[in-house]
Amino acid sequence: MFVLGAWVYLFAVCASLFDVSDCALSSKASGYNESLDLKPLPRNNLLASFNFEIYSDLAEGYDLVNGTDQPVFLAHYGLFPRSVGQIVKSTQTHELHLRFTQGWWDSEEWGFLPHNGKYAGGTGVEVWAWIAGESYDEAENRWYELVNALSGLFCASLNFVDSSRTTPNPISFHPDSTVSASSLIAGKGNVSSSSLHLFHGSLPRETVCTENLTPFLKLLPCKGRAGISSLLDGHRIFDSRWQSMALDFVLMCDSDYRCRLHMTQKVDVVLDVLRSLQRRLSPVPKPPPAEELQCDTSKSYHSDSICFPLSTPDIVNWKLSDLFGRKIQNRCLLDRVSENGVSSYSVCAHITPEWHLSREGGAIVSSTSSKACFSLLENDEFDIGFSTSNSASVSKNEPPPVYVQRSMTGRGQQNGGIQTIIYNPSITDSVSLIYFESLPWYMKPYIHTLAATLSNSTASKSTTIKREVVKDILYRPFLERVRGTYLELKLDIPPEARLTLSYDFDKTLLYLAEYPPDANRGFDVPPGILTVLSKENNGSYAYAMRTSSLLLSLPTPDFSMPYNVIILTSTVMALAFGTIYNILVRRFVYEQDVVRERIPLVQRLRPRIMDGISRWKGATAPEIDKVDPGADANVDDSLDEKT
Amino acid sequence: MQIRSCREIDNITLSLVDITYTSNQQARCSQTCYDTRLNYHRPLALMDWRTCAAIFAAAILRQSLSFLFPSLHSLLGQHVEVTTTMTSFKQMKEGLHLYEIGLSPYNGGVYHQAPIFLLLFKFAGKFGPTSPDSFIINVLYTFADIITAYFLCAISKSPKLAKTNQLADWVIAALYLFNPLVVATNISRSTAVLSNATMVGSIAYACYNKNILSVIFLAVASHANFYTIYLVPPFLLLWTSTTNTSTASVTKYLFLYITASAGLASIGYFMTGSWQYLSATYGSLLFFKDLVPNMGLWWYFFMEMFDFFRPLFTYIFQLYSLIYVLPITFRLHNYPLMAITCIVGITTISKSYPEIGDLGMYISLLSLFRFIFPNVRYALFAALVILHSLVLAPNFYHLWIYLGSGNANFIYAITLVYTIGLTIIITDTLRAALRIEFDGGADPSKSVIQI
């Protein structure tokens, strides 16, 4: 049954990518596929989803484990980037997911995340991977190897993913490959102790920028020179409301150990159309002239001289090249989808009948009132124009299964609380989900203060419930400088209910060198991850979304003080030590019993001076020493007594 | 104050609780002492009606504070001067919660307190909720304070001190029970209240030659609060003072103490199933893992210290707290109680997580030594320095943490002042005690010097 499943899957992959016959013919060869989906969103935003898929040659006997028999690893990668292939091979990575995300996805306006949130990360950089290892420690070492290699490859600070930022084996994530490697390994029979370990790490502070995009594009066969990837210009992509770059590597195997490396790269961008147009016309923002103003005519005071401008104009007219700064250059000839020459698409626009499309170059593949698809041609430039008189009319995205917001409570820098509100908008269905949170070790949560409060919009009565809503809690406490807190909750939220999760935490101080240069900005707390489980499919993945990251302000020391503190504290300690030992070691006498001869200073010093003189004179007058040796001794004693 | 043998009044069987709540039995609470070698459950000493009244009033004060200001517990529990991460009730609750849901509280940086507290509070949980203002916790903490006061009175009247001129019992009890530092520590539900009670208990039992009980109490106290282990050398003097201080008897009591401590340590092992708790409790205390402001010298020093030197200075700081123990024990071998008091005072300065309750305990122990007071020279000055620091510390902390108008140096400076004030008290009383040792306080008119 398992073998059948694997073949069915392989078949499905082939079918979705190209013709079945094509799949059978070129099943051993590597391939590449790219597409772009454009979708206007409310308030003149545009969602552009770039999709690239690369898969390697089919290799027989992929070396899953360094077993006794050394099966042949991939001889050559084909279109698959060798840099990634070598990294995943040397670290025994079976699945790798890497996300670079900036901005905020407005769920209430824009609805579902693209691809059901599968390829959207949390703010900053997020990475998780399934890695094979005979022991957990071995896999963990490979994980650090992997993130360090990725750090170099993508110019990101992934090397800062250390044990304190790594969460092992969270249940929120599900592997993409259907054939689990552990069963493969077990079936292979030689190394049965090896198994896969999941690691998750995130860097919420990482600023995603053009230095991450450039290496990202270099992995593509056409390297951003031709095809839809030629649109990806850092200046435009990162001037967006929300953008997410994803790289997903999956080792896809069948039951005969025939495997191929499969990599999906995605770039999803929400562009603010008006801002992009404005940026093109004049880099310096300035108010539009009166004749270009679009007024809200429904206002009572509206007249020729008084205008209340519309927040987003209804009448818009723009082209793809206006937003991205250039047209799509050529066609990426390695794109196997269009190898047949006909009936495949590259660029699709999802619109409503109120929109008009104009094409420049390319060829129409299909066109309906809600969707128009085009293919790119060789030696051609491609551009689409979008125009409408009602920009608010967009094809509606479904609302997400839940809404979430997370915030910090409390004041001061000693302690605080975190409050997460999850809202289920559905009227009929309850939602079961997993809420994952990893906190840095310098946040010290109190799990006994964790409270789940359910408030129903119908009854508006809030009750503190635990068991009915919180099905399960997975928790691993932090350890200073070693690991952070990991918290995972299995939740079941009734329809139209609002669940408030809250707990207290303490803040701690760090060592001087552990503070970043801008310590008073605060520390970023990674976003929480909600994984909604589908009801029908026995708890498999249905949707994923992230909360925003939080800014945690910690108390800071005076950074200029190290020497002062060392000196002052040591002085106080020495003071106590000196005084106590002075009292302890010396003996008491009555003052009156101490013989104290009051000899003037001159007299006390005289014998010494004379002594010095005599020595200076040498052996000429040794008698002076012998004048009054008794007095000399007396004087020394009294000196000692006084000190 | 005369001490009569217990055998004269053997028929009086008043338990401590009876004393607290039956004020009409004041007449029988005469200045007496039991030497109940045979019946350990009998009280060590009975108290006069003033002491009973003081204890009663203190119990009323604690109950009414808890009743009138229920938020006071968490407010004081958050104050870094009053509780530390080693004694915080909230962290105790967290550890207890983890323990009760089946996780090891020591597998992580959450809980640093001894396993015995888990047992105690789990047991207390059987009688009601263990929130800071709940009935059972209230009773437990009030009882701990009362029994500490009772033990202090007992020490004051013990044969080891009775020959000297002592403060009245009720003064000693009131000095402890109404000391704002002690009250604040109690209301914050710091677990130091409990470990202090056992420590004072072990002194009291040692004073009445109930050495086995004393050894057990000291083992519990040092299990709960690591720095109490420094009291072992003077305690050895105390335990062997009635017999000849021979190597054999010293070895015997040392062996007993180590056995008792090992027994307690193994309780922790059997509770949590691993020795991990040792590094989570004593390890994090010795190596100062949890960087939180307090009234001590450690936190800012190690916060600012360069990484490379941190281990070196950790050793030096721990050595610093240890280095006084033997010299003081040897020098004050005639006054083991005074040696204990001095070491308690010095660890208040040098321990890694000090709190103001330690100072309250130290002052109360000092109040037992009425005979050294005439020789104390800087009492007013030291009191003003301490008062100054205690008033400013919460304010400066507030300025730094909540208002942001001050920085960490403010509270750091105050901890230095606090330490200097404590140093003055310690050196002054130590000198006064040695002065008494010199001539028994025979001739206060003669001035002495040290050479």
Whether B211 is in a domain gets the answer yes
Contact (CB, 8 A) for B40 and B12: no
Q: Roughly how many angstroms between the first and final C-alpha of chain B, as a whole number? A: 37
- Spatial strand order of the sheet with A470-476 comes to A470-476, A485-493, A431-439, A529-533, A541-546
- CA of B34 vs chain A CAs: smallest distance (Å): 36
What pLDDT was estimated at residue B320? 95
What pLDDT was estimated at residue A59? 67
What pLDDT was estimated at residue A597? 63
Among the partner-chain residues A479, A557, A573, the one whose CB lies closest to the CB of B108 is A479
**Dist CA A298 CA A315 (whole Å):** 16
Q: What is the DSSP letter of A400?
A: P
Among the partner-chain residues B98, B303, B423, the one whose CB lies closest to the CB of A512 is B303
CB atoms within 10 A of CB A613: 11
pLDDT at A451 over 80: yes
Question: Dihedrals φ, ψ of A475, to 5°?
Answer: -145, 135
Tens digit of pLDDT for each residue in A131-186?
Answer: 888 889 999 999 999 999 999 999 999 999 999 999 998 989 888 775 555 455 54
- CA of B22 vs chain A CAs: smallest distance (Å): 40
Q: What angle do CA B84, B85, B87 make, to 5 degrees?
A: 65
- CA of B309 vs chain A CAs: smallest distance (Å): 11
- CA of A586 vs chain B CAs: smallest distance (Å): 5
Contact A589 B449 (CB under 8 A): yes
The domain tally of chain B equals 1
Compute the CA torsion angle A335, A341, A347, A351 (nearest 10 deg).
Answer: -150
Contact B109 A480 (CB under 8 A): yes
CB of A556 less than 8 A from some CB of B: yes
Alpha-helix residue ranges (DSSP H) falling in B226-335:
232-239, 247-272, 276-278, 284-286, 298-304, 310-322, 325-331
pLDDT at B241 over 60: yes
**Residue B171 structural domain:** 6-368
Contact B291 A591 (CB under 8 A): no
What pLDDT was estimated at residue B12? 33
The whole-number average pLDDT for the span A332-352 is: 67
Contact (CB, 8 A) for B68 and B170: no
The whole-number average pLDDT for the span A18-22 is: 35
pLDDT at A345 over 50: yes
ipTM associated with this complex: 0.88
Alpha-helix residue ranges (DSSP H) falling in B45-124:
49-68, 72-78, 89-100, 115-124
What pLDDT was estimated at residue A184? 53
Contact B447 A641 (CB under 8 A): no
CB under 8 Å to A466, separation ≥6 — which residues? A452
B316-375 residues touching A, CB cutoff 8 A: 320, 323-324, 327-328, 331, 346, 349-350
**Dist CA B38 CA B107 (whole Å):** 44
Among the partner-chain residues B293, B307, B438, the one whose CB lies closest to the CB of A511 is B307
Tokens at residue A407, please?
Answer: 């915030």
Delineate the domains of chain A, giving CATH numbers in brackets: 26-312 (no CATH), 403-552 (2.60.40.740), 587-642 (no CATH)
CB under 8 Å to B95, separation ≥6 — which residues? B105, B110, B111, B113, B117, B118
Give the 3-state DSSP-derived string for B312-374, with helices as H, strands as E and coil as C.
HHHHHHHHHHHCCHHHHHHHCCCCHHHHHHHHHHHHHHHCCCCCHHHHHHHHHHHCCCHHHHH
Whether B442 is in a domain gets the answer no
Give the pLDDT band of residue A187 (cuts 50, 70, 90).
Answer: very low
Tens digit of pLDDT for each residue in A371-427?
Answer: 888 888 888 889 999 999 888 888 888 889 999 999 999 988 999 999 999 999 988
HSE (CB half, 13 Å, CA atoms) of A272?
Answer: 15
Give the pLDDT band of residue B243 (cuts 50, 70, 90).
Answer: low
pLDDT at A302 over 90: no
Tokens at residue A457, please?
Answer: 């919009």
pLDDT at B198 over 80: yes
Mean pLDDT for all residues in chain A: 81
- The region of weakest confidence among A193-197, A638-642, B71-75 is A638-642
- The region of weakest confidence among A277-291, A540-554, A614-628 is A614-628
What pLDDT was estimated at residue A337? 52
pLDDT at B20 over 60: no
CB under 8 Å to A67, separation ≥6 — which residues? A188, A190, A191
**Dist CA B376 CA B393 (whole Å):** 26
pLDDT at B44 over 90: no
Contact (CB, 8 A) for B435 and B441: yes
What pLDDT was estimated at residue A489? 93
More confident residue, A85 or A289: A85
More confident residue, A307 or A158: A158
What pLDDT was estimated at residue A60? 56
What pLDDT was estimated at residue A194? 63
Give the pLDDT band of residue A275 (cuts 50, 70, 90).
Answer: confident
The whole-number average pLDDT for the span A41-64 is: 80
Strand-pair partners of A254: none
Contact A580 B346 (CB under 8 A): yes
pLDDT at B371 over 90: no
Among the partner-chain residues B290, B297, B303, the one whose CB lies closest to the CB of A480 is B290
Whether B401 is in a domain gets the answer no
Whether B404 is in a domain gets the answer no
**Dist CA B181 CA B231 (whole Å):** 22
Mutate to test the interface with A, among B82, B104, B110, B415 (most CBs of A within 10 A): B110
More confident residue, B25 or A264: A264
The whole-number average pLDDT for the span B339-353 is: 95
Give the pLDDT band of residue B143 (cuts 50, 70, 90).
Answer: very high
Contact (CB, 8 A) for A367 and A374: no
**Highest mean pLDDT (candidates A517-521, A589-593, B42-46, B386-390):** B386-390
Tens digit of pLDDT for each residue in B387-410?
Answer: 999 999 999 999 999 998 999 999
More confident residue, B268 or A339: B268
Query: Residue A523: which of A549, A552, A485 has the closest Cα?
Result: A552
What pLDDT was estimated at residue A76? 64
Query: Residue A229: which of A244, A242, A218 has the closest Cα?
Result: A218
Tens digit of pLDDT for each residue in B79-121?
Answer: 999 999 999 999 999 999 999 988 889 988 889 999 999 999 9
What pLDDT was estimated at residue B310? 94
- CA of B393 vs chain A CAs: smallest distance (Å): 15
Whether B405 is in a domain gets the answer no
Instruction: Write down the residue that tokens 């070698």 correspond to.
Output: B37
